């Protein structure tokens, strides 16, 4: 009968359900304390295939999960169907504790509505009635004062007039209706119905009331209504001190934390999100010097932490939250405690948690076998500092031993790589260029070993090298020396050969290294990392290079700004762009695109053109230094040299896309290019016509990615102008773009190619992984000695730097 009445009152208009105001029936008596339904509701949409939100239809994802054990990993939270969101007093109320934080509450309502419209079942346990009532009662008290009293008191005295202390139960009684009306108004904007339920501890002790509550909540969820639940603070008795957390079946409703936990277990919820005014659970009171946010909390760990004071409002506190969370976890509900007041994350904190992103503290019953990524980073930093303190020849020995292992353990490496290749081929998820990157061979391993030995030689004079010395004053000498950057995070996909290369460069530069490889190369990466740690072990620095093998998302790793000093992505342009967006607090070294140009000048040699264009495009089309756009001088059109270029590209089966100007010269042209800023990564390229060398430079500046660009010409003056005017990281004359590579540059290897304007540019080898520090040596000097009344004067004399011998450190 209720559903029929709801259906009659609902009207579909413009993708939303609308109905006349004041035509909604009350819920049945079983829905104790339930409010009127809002003027927008759509119970019949619950099982519809297409849903509407903000006039935008979308398909709901069917969520089916049998409630039992809690989720073991954050990534599984995407499967959560029934979710309880607990809003703490500090989240709902303003800083003055009198009134609600409307903007914050609106963003939370929007996220809950989005999840509800995805087909999930959302419940809210909210605070705020006392604060809302306090605001209303204070206002009423001031208004009730007589006009005569206000006039006689004067403006200043009126401003300082004391408002009597308000009793919390009275405030709750006055605030409940207003709080619910606010929720109704906000959820109405998203075509979502709400219903209010007020409970007390006694409702859970009475079996009949408990069953009624359970039945009411299930009925509301079935009708696609969001229950908004709160303790009935107008009549709630004081909590009993001896009735707290009496095992799995009993939990005393002392605050909204325990209420949320009890409801989550009673309703068999998949996830409980408890929002507070702190980022999560810390191993010591937040704000203390050594406090660290706990990413994952396991039962039994509560003995190792110290609780701070509770929040500015509310009656709970972190200890109450942890006890309630552990009780809910034991009952089969996953729990996340996170910050709901931080303006940087409030607008997406709930949806991010459901998507499995690393926010707050996740409670899990499954403890991983290995260390967490935070622990791995700490281990790497400690090992990196020991590595940097080694003698140069010791670091060189580690790299040479790793080079030997690559050839000695060749069969084991290739067997692991074969497993990865077969798995990738069977799934069909990798494109042919990525499959080629994934593949290893004996020749590749031999080439890797040669490159590593080059790095070993160059590492003899890297860390601790003096690059400047200055005599500031008598017996006061300043020195600038090279030092490691710190902890490097290298994220790579489908390129297992990257692992030993980057590891060798990290060892040579004394940097700690955190590696995150693609799952498509898991077997190969595992054995290569084992060999790397075996090599590091000869000098006791095994932990300096860590391979992240947990289910960490790349975006989560990019948030470790207090642990990681530099991120180096190695992979597709999409991967690099995603990392650059995610890593807001950590520098990223790399390039998002490799749009490389070859410009064929009017004075070009035909033999050189054919060789360079073929090599630049066809040698390895998937490489970031492969040619993507061929610029041809206008005078070469309809000449033998141009015909030979086209014939060669056709023989090599290169698909040609015509630029706008090139297409205008042709009666029947190839497919016109969609964008001149395209990185094809395959046997495809764009051909465009330019009027001059200057025109080519302007085109590259407009459409290029500052990676690698080439001119082919016999005119030296034209070539030099091209080399000087173009500001790409690599600029070549009569040479293939494929030379933009650390190994080919003689760097031994590279961690990537950077198109940044500061620090390192082009192929980044050993030098690009070093920074500097200033060392000042004096004999009791003070700045006051150099004042007008002081006895000393600045000299600022340059001191020649003597070349250091292998194994010799900088000294004064």
For residue 8, the Cα-to-chain-centroid distance in whole angstroms is: 47
Starting at the earlier edge strand, list the strands of the sheet with 770-777. 770-777, 476-484, 466-473, 797-798
Lowest mean per-residue pLDDT among 157-171, 295-309, 533-547: 157-171
Cα dihedral 329/331/333/334 (nearest 10):
10
Q: How confident is the model at residue 42 (pLDDT cuts 50, 70, 90)?
A: very low
Question: What are the angstrom distances between the C-alpha of 375 and each of 370, 372, 586, 610?
Answer: 10, 5, 19, 54
**Mean pLDDT of the 519-537 span:** 96
> What would the DSSP string read from start to end of 658-679?
E-HHHHHT-SS-SPBPS-SS--
Lowest mean per-residue pLDDT among 25-34, 215-224, 753-762: 25-34
Residue pair 671/699 in contact (Cβ under 8 Å)? The answer is no
Q: Measuring CA to CA, which residue among 31, 263, 279, 265 is closest to residue 125? A: 263
User: How far is it, in rounded angstroms, from Cα 639 to Cα 609?
Assistant: 13
pTM listed for this prediction: 0.74
Residue 244: predicted pLDDT:
42
Q: How confident is the model at residue 28 (pLDDT cuts 50, 70, 90)?
A: very low
Question: What are the angstrom distances between the C-alpha of 331 and each of 124, 422, 461, 752?
Answer: 19, 42, 60, 49
- pLDDT at residue 43 greater than cutoff 70: no
| Angle between the N-to-C axes of helices 442-458 and 498-509, in degrees from 0 to 180, rounded to the nearest 10 | 10
**Mean pLDDT of the 517-536 span:** 95
- pLDDT at residue 347 greater than cutoff 60: yes
Phi-psi group of 438: left, alpha or beta (phi > 0 → left; psi -120 to 50 → alpha; rest → beta):
alpha
Residue 140: predicted pLDDT:
73
Q: Is 480 exposed, middle or buried (0-12, 13-18, 19+ CB in 10 A)?
A: middle
DSSP type of residue 166: P
196: Cα within 13 Å, side-chain hemisphere: 21
Q: How confident is the model at residue 14 (pLDDT cuts 50, 70, 90)?
A: very low
**Mean pLDDT of the 396-416 span:** 97
DSSP type of residue 100: B
Q: How confident is the model at residue 19 (pLDDT cuts 50, 70, 90)?
A: very low
Lowest mean per-residue pLDDT among 48-52, 338-342, 533-537, 595-599: 48-52
Q: Measuring CA to CA, which residue among 488, 357, 362 is closest to residue 768? A: 488
Residue 86: predicted pLDDT:
94
- pLDDT at residue 392 greater than cutoff 70: yes
**Mean pLDDT of the 375-396 span:** 94
Q: Give the helix ranges, DSSP H, for 546-679.
A: 554-557, 573-582, 606-618, 640-651, 660-664
**Mean pLDDT of the 263-288 span:** 88
Q: Is 385 exposed, middle or buried (0-12, 13-18, 19+ CB in 10 A)?
A: middle
Residue 303: predicted pLDDT:
65
Instruction: Tell me how far apart the terminal alpha carbons of the chain are, to the nearest angstrom.
Output: 92
Q: Which two tokens stand for residue 1?
A: 């009968």
**What sign has the CA pseudo-torsion 229, 231, 235, 236?**
positive
Residue pair 762/772 in contact (Cβ under 8 Å)? The answer is no
Residue 549: predicted pLDDT:
79
- pLDDT at residue 3 greater than cutoff 90: no
Residues 6+ apart with CB under 8 A from 287: 308
User: How far is it, in rounded angstroms, from Cα 456 to Cα 509?
Assistant: 10
Q: Which helix (H) or strand (E) holds 708?
A: strand 708-712
Q: Which residue has the higher pLDDT, 335 or 806?
A: 335
Q: Residue 628: count other Cβ atoms within 10 Å of its Cβ.
A: 29
Residue 65: predicted pLDDT:
54
Site of tokens 């413009």: 14
Percent of the chain with pLDDT over 90: 52
User: How far is it, in rounded angstroms, from Cα 691 to Cα 605?
Assistant: 18
Top mean pLDDT of 253-267, 544-558, 571-585, 787-801 is at 787-801
> What would the DSSP string read from start to end of 175-203?
HHHHHHHHHHHHHHTTT-EEEEEEE-HHH
Rounded to 5 degrees, φ, ψ at 481 are -125, 155
Percent of the chain with pLDDT over 70: 82
Interval 185-207: pLDDT, tens: 999 999 999 999 998 878 888 88
User: How far is it, in rounded angstroms, from Cα 740 to Cα 159?
Assistant: 73
- pLDDT at residue 41 greater than cutoff 70: no
Question: What are the angstrom distances between the C-alpha of 378 and each of 160, 371, 375, 408, 514?
Answer: 54, 10, 5, 31, 10
Q: Which residue has the higher pLDDT, 576 or 86?
A: 86
Q: Which residue has the higher pLDDT, 811 or 500?
A: 500
Cα dihedral 294/300/305/306 (nearest 10):
130
Residues in the chain: 812
24: Cα within 13 Å, side-chain hemisphere: 21
Residue pair 401/536 in contact (Cβ under 8 Å)? The answer is no
> Taking every pair of C-alpha atoms in the chain, what is the biggest distance, in angstroms?
104
- pLDDT at residue 94 greater than cutoff 90: no
- pLDDT at residue 2 greater than cutoff 80: no
Cα angle 303, 304, 306 (rounded to 5 degrees) comes to 90
Residue pair 133/98 in contact (Cβ under 8 Å)? The answer is no
Residues 6+ apart with CB under 8 A from 11: 17, 18, 19
Interval 760-811: pLDDT, tens: 888 888 889 999 999 999 999 999 999 988 889 999 999 998 766 544 554 4
Interval 711-739: pLDDT, tens: 999 999 999 999 999 999 999 999 999 99
Interval 634-657: pLDDT, tens: 999 989 999 999 999 999 999 999
Q: Is 477 exposed, middle or buried (0-12, 13-18, 19+ CB in 10 A)?
A: middle
315: Cα within 13 Å, side-chain hemisphere: 14
User: How far is it, in rounded angstroms, from Cα 524 to Cα 445?
Assistant: 12
Residue 146: predicted pLDDT:
52
297 strand-pairing partners: 363
Q: Are strands 466-473 and 476-484 parallel, antiparallel or unpaired?
A: antiparallel
- pLDDT at residue 136 greater than cutoff 90: no
**Mean pLDDT of the 491-502 span:** 90
Residues 6+ apart with CB under 8 A from 154: none
Interval 502-522: pLDDT, tens: 999 999 999 999 999 988 999
Lowest mean per-residue pLDDT among 170-174, 541-545, 790-794: 170-174
User: How far is it, in rounded angstroms, from Cα 570 to Cα 151?
Assistant: 74
User: How far is it, in rounded angstroms, from Cα 292 to Cα 586?
Assistant: 19
Q: Are strands 770-777 and 476-484 parallel, antiparallel or unpaired?
A: antiparallel
**What sign has the CA pseudo-torsion 522, 527, 532, 533?**
positive
- pLDDT at residue 37 greater than cutoff 50: no
Residue 374: predicted pLDDT:
85
Q: Which two tokens stand for residue 183?
A: 């929720």
Q: For the chain, what is the mean pLDDT?
A: 83
Residue pair 750/742 in contact (Cβ under 8 Å)? The answer is yes
Q: Which residue has the higher pLDDT, 71 or 142?
A: 71
Residue 319: predicted pLDDT:
80
Residue 160: predicted pLDDT:
52
Q: Which two tokens stand for residue 754?
A: 């950077």
């Amino acid at each position: 009968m209720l559903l029929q009445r709801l259906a009659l009152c609902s009207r579909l208009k413009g993708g939303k359900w609308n109905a006349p105001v004041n035509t909604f029936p009350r819920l049945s008596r079983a829905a104790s304390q339930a409010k009127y339904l809002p003027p927008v509701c759509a119970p019949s949409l619950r099982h519809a295939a297409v849903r509407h939100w903000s006039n935008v239809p979308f398909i709901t994802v069917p969520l089916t999960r049998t409630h039992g054990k809690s989720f073991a990993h954050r990534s599984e939270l995407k499967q959560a169907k029934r979710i309880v969101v607990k809003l703490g007093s500090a989240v709902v109320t303003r800083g003055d504790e009198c009134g609600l934080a409307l903007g914050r509450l609106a963003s939370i309502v929007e996220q809950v509505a989005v999840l509800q419209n995805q087909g999930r079942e959302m419940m809210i346990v909210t605070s705020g009635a006392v604060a809302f009532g306090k605001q209303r009662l204070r206002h009423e008290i001031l208004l009730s004062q007589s006009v005569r009293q206000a006039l006689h008191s004067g403006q200043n005295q009126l401003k300082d007039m004391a408002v009597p202390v308000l009793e919390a139960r009275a405030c709750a009684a006055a605030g409940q209706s207003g709080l619910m009306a606010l929720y109704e108004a906000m959820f109405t904007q998203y075509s979502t119905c709400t219903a209010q339920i007020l409970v007390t501890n006694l409702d859970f002790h009475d079996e009949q009331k408990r069953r009624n509550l359970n039945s009411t909540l299930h009925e509301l969820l079935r009708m696609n209504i969001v229950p908004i639940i709160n303790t009935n603070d107008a009549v709630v008795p004081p909590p009993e001190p001896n009735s707290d957390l009496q095992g799995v079946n009993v939990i005393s409703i002392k605050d909204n934390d325990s209420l949320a936990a009890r409801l989550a277990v009673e309703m068999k919820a998949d996830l409980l999100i408890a929002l507070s005014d702190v980022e999560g659970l810390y191993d010591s009171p937040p704000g203390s010097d050594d406090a660290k946010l706990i990413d994952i909390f396991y039962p039994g760990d509560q003995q190792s932490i110290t609780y701070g004071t509770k929040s500015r409002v509310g009656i709970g506190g972190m200890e109450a939250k942890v006890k309630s969370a552990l009780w809910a976890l034991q009952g089969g509900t996953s729990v996340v405690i996170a910050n709901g007041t931080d303006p940087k994350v409030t607008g997406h904190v709930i949806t991010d948690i459901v998507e499995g992103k690393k926010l707050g503290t996740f409670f899990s019953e499954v403890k991983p076998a290995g260390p967490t990524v935070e622990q791995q980073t700490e281990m790497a930093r400690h090992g990196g500092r020991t590595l940097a303190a080694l003698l140069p020849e010791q670091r060189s020995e580690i790299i040479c031993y790793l080079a030997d292992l690559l050839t000695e353990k060749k069969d084991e490496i290739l067997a692991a790589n074969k497993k990865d290749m077969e798995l990738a081929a069977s799934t069909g998820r990798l494109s042919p260029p990525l499959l080629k990157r994934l593949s290893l061979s004996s020749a590749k391993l031999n080439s890797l070993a040669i490159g590593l030995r080059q790095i070993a030689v160059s590492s003899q004079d890297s860390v601790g090298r003096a690059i400047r010395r200055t005599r500031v004053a008598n017996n006061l000498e300043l020195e600038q020396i090279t030092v490691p950057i710190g902890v490097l995070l290298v994220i790579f996909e489908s390129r297992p050969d990257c692992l030993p290369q980057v590891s060798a460069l990290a060892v040579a530069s004394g940097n700690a290294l955190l590696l995150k490889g693609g799952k498509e190369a898991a077997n190969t990466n595992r054995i290569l990392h084992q060999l790397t740690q075996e090599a590091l072990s000869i000098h006791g620095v095994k932990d300096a290079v860590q391979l992240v093998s947990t289910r960490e998302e790349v975006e989560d790793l990019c948030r470790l700004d207090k642990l990681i000093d530099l991120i180096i992505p190695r992979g597709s342009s999409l991967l690099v762009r995603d990392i650059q967006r995610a890593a807001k607090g950590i520098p990223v070294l790399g390039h998002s695109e490799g749009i490389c140009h070859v410009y064929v000048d009017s004075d070009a040699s035909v033999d050189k053109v054919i060789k360079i264009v073929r090599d630049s495009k066809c040698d390895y089309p998937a490489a970031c230094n492969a040619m993507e756009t061929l610029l041809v001088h206008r005078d070469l059109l309809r000449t033998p040299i141009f015909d030979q270029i086209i014939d060669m590209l056709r023989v090599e089966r290169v698909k040609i896309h015509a630029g706008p100007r090139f297409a205008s010269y042709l009666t029947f042209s190839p497919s016109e290019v969609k964008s001149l800023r395209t990185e094809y990564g395959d046997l495809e390229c764009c051909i465009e016509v330019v009027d001059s060398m200057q025109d080519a430079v302007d085109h590259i500046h407009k459409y290029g990615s500052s990676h690698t660009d080439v001119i082919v010409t016999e005119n030296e003056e034209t070539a030099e102008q091209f080399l000087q005017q173009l500001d790409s990281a690599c600029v070549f004359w009569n040479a293939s773009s494929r030379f933009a590579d650390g190994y080919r540059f003689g760097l031994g290897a590279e961690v990537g190619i950077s198109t940044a304007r500061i620090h390192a540019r082009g192929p980044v080898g050993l030098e690009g992984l070093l920074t500097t520090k200033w060392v000042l040596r004096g004999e009791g000097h003070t700045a006051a000695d150099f004042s007008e009344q002081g006895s000393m004067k600045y000299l600022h004399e340059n001191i020649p730097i003597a070349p250091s011998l292998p194994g010799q450190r900088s000294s004064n």
